[in-house]
Amino acid sequence: MTLIATHLGQVRRRIQDAALAVKRNPSGITLMAVSKTFPVQDIEQAIAAGQMVFGENYVQEGIEKIQILSALHPKLEWHFIGPLQSNKTKDVAAHFDWVHSIDRLKIAERLSIQRGELAIPKKLQLCVQVNVSNEDSKSGIPLKEAQTLCSAIAQLPHVSLRGLMAIPAPTSDLIIQGQAFEAVEDCFKQIQAKYSKEVGFQEFNTLSMGMSDDMESAIAHGSTIVRVGTAIFGKRDKISA
């Protein structure tokens, strides 16, 4: 068994234990392996260990990996999780299945138009990124603006509004961790309650939050996708976008 396979097993056990601790079904939580900066060979090891969902932060790097791996593994699911600029939306619309980092209506509109122009049958799955800790260095919109943006995205034809994504400020304080995730969970539930019968909200069921160091707290507050890189692939060298 490879080291990556061992790490994946450890992360899956953490997810299971965290879910059962709050009486959730572990099958309702998706593990996304964040493979940014790691080579195709490492992703192949994860695939061999049964991992099918991968997250990338950099458009060109992600597309190169998708092009290499999708022919061999057509059932892989690719999530774009980094900040997205207008000049990169067409490439993302063409190659990715999900985008977690929507913080402007303009970006969602461009993705919808371009997905339609590409005539890709499956809609692009979108999450709105909220800046729950109000960090200047983080992308995302304030929680109070999430409802308005979600309502607008729900009307777009070639994308599907799936939920919210958040990256709280890192902290080892479990109380502060929990407060941040609870705030996002509350916002998510408020949107569900208000728009549950509205067009475009039928698949609004995703909370993308929790990473290597805080996934247990995120799962305790309703996360349905955890984004884990370091605990699977190891420490990464920083690169520029």
For residue 174, what is the domain's CATH number? 3.20.20.10
Asked if the structure places residue 183 within a domain, the reply is yes
> What are the pLDDT digits (tens) for 179-224?
999 999 999 999 999 999 999 999 999 999 999 999 999 999 999 9
Alpha-carbon span 170 to 211, nearest angstrom: 10
From the list 132, 197, 192, the residue with the least C-alpha distance to 162 is 192
Asked if the structure places residue 229 within a domain, the reply is yes
Asked if the structure places residue 39 within a domain, the reply is yes
Asked if the structure places residue 101 within a domain, the reply is yes
Asked if the structure places residue 104 within a domain, the reply is yes
Asked if the structure places residue 238 within a domain, the reply is no
Asked if the structure places residue 187 within a domain, the reply is yes
- Expressed as residue numbers, the domain containing 84 is 3-233
Q: For the chain, what is the domain count?
A: 1
pTM here is 0.95
> What are the pLDDT digits (tens) for 117-170?
999 999 999 999 999 987 666 789 999 999 999 999 999 999 999 999 999 988
